[in-house]
Amino acid sequence: MKIVQIVGCPLHSGAGRGIHALQEALLGRGIDTRIVGRVESDLPSDIKAEAASLFARLPVSLRNRFKRWQVKRRFGPLPINFQPIAHGLSLHKWPTYREADLIHIQFAGATTLGSPLWRALRAETRPVVWTLRDMWPFTGGCHFSGQCERFTAGCGCCPEFGGGALDEDITAHDLAFKAAHIGKNITFVAISDSIAERARSSTVLKDRHIRVIPNSVMLDRFLPIAKAEARAALGLPNDRIILAAGALNLANPRKGSATLAALFAAYRGDPRLHFAIFGQNLEQLVSPAPENFTQFGLLHDDVKLNRIYAAADIYLMPSLQESFGKVTVEAMASGTPVIAYDGTPAVDMVRNGETGWLVANGDHAKFLDTVRQACALPKGALAEMGERARADVVENFSLASVAERHIELYRERLGQQINATASRGSPVN
């Protein structure tokens, strides 16, 4: 079987790391799979990825910027996670796409999946698998809806645009376009029960069967390390409780920036604690960073990331909404208990009081109180929770099991196509 994976994000990003891990596992199983799209141009050749050239990306980016400028001129500043359908890459014209037996859309926003590719997918006779890594495929333009439920009723009157009716030709139009162009030959896969439930309640996917195959973790890259060893390698103090946290954009409200800001203010300069923080825009939450902070910036190094997770006594995951939350399972695989919000995919990973703690979604005060109680526990108790966390990840999120479930799905879909072709009396190759 020949599989083409459509990817619209760097493989070092949160979504990209899950895709990268699956690609390596599939290749290791002898599957002929290739990645095409908006990925890094300097990836190793053995990952079999074809990056869109600057020549291909530049006109698309310029046209999308003009589209966003038009919308901004009419409605004002656009939400950070809002992408109206506009102009995408012509991946359906690439030889790798045309030669594939099965198409797998791994992650694609508006700058990758433009109107022509939507139409090509609608007309596609080959099997298509579409992994839901966020909500964009079934909303009027947002990647995550927050508390808004308008995607269940056709969008329009978007709260991000003030809740008025002027946006009808954007959010409602985009949602209607998606509903009209979702092909019947597509199998949808959610990476968590949480995102699957949102998809099933949407106007676009309410009548579709949504499977759940979670993200995985590379157990050979994220594993427990002796805390003293990990801290020494990172230059972290060995005589303090270490709290770790991170996100691509720490100032993103969806990622729990308000909770982090409150936490940093409460423990600023506290000599008992030390924060190990990775990601961008920390200065927007605490500036200047006090003595009990170590900043690691944006990381692309799994070795350093593993050390940060393993060095911490507790990992903080204050995201309010996620499709999966890969850092949660990576931290647990590294032997560290996690504090996270309820109502997110963390409920599928964290056993409250056993491998970490779950806090009522958005309750900053309760999150801080849980941090206080967790820090008061003996280090031996935290270590035992970390051991149970690692065991849970090994059992439920191993890369081998996730890859096998994808292979079974590919074979099932390709078998259905062969059977359908044979029933029509056409030759089967």
Question: How does pLDDT run across 396-412, given as a tens digit for each residue?
Answer: 898 888 999 999 999 99
**Which whole number is the average pLDDT over 218-240?**
95
Whole-angstrom distance, CA of residue 304 vs CA of residue 311: 10
CB 40 within 8 A of CB 51: yes
Characterize 238-251 residue by residue with b for buried, 16 or more Cβ atoms within 10 angstroms of its Cβ, and e for exposed: eebbbbbbbbbebb
Phi/psi at 129 (nearest 5 deg)? -115, 135
Mean pLDDT of the chain: 90
Distance CA 20, CA 278 (A): 20
Q: Would you state the pLDDT for residue 177? A: 92
Looking at residue 340, what is its pLDDT?
A: 98
Q: Tokens 């958005």 map to which residue? A: 362
The SS3 of residue 415 is helix
Average pLDDT rounded to a whole number, residues 173-178: 91
Of 4-13, 15-24, 50-59, 69-78, minimum mean pLDDT range:
69-78
Would the pTM of this model clear 0.75, i.e. be above it? yes
Q: Do domains 2-216+399-423 and 227-396 have the same CATH topology?
A: yes
Residue 86 pLDDT class (50, 70, 90 cuts): confident
**SS3 helix, strand, coil % of the chain, rounded to 5?**
45, 15, 40
As a CATH number, domain 2-216+399-423 is 3.40.50.2000
For the chain, give the percent of residues with pLDDT over 70.
Answer: 95
Per-residue model confidence (pLDDT) at position 63: 85
- In this prediction, residue 417 has a pLDDT band, given cuts at 50, 70 and 90, of low
Name the residue ranges covered by the structural domains of the chain. 2-216+399-423, 227-396
pLDDT score of 421: 47
With the C-alpha atoms ordered 135, 140, 144, 146, is the resulting torsion angle positive or negative? negative
Q: What is the CATH number of domain 227-396?
A: 3.40.50.2000
| Residue 310 or 289, more confident | 310
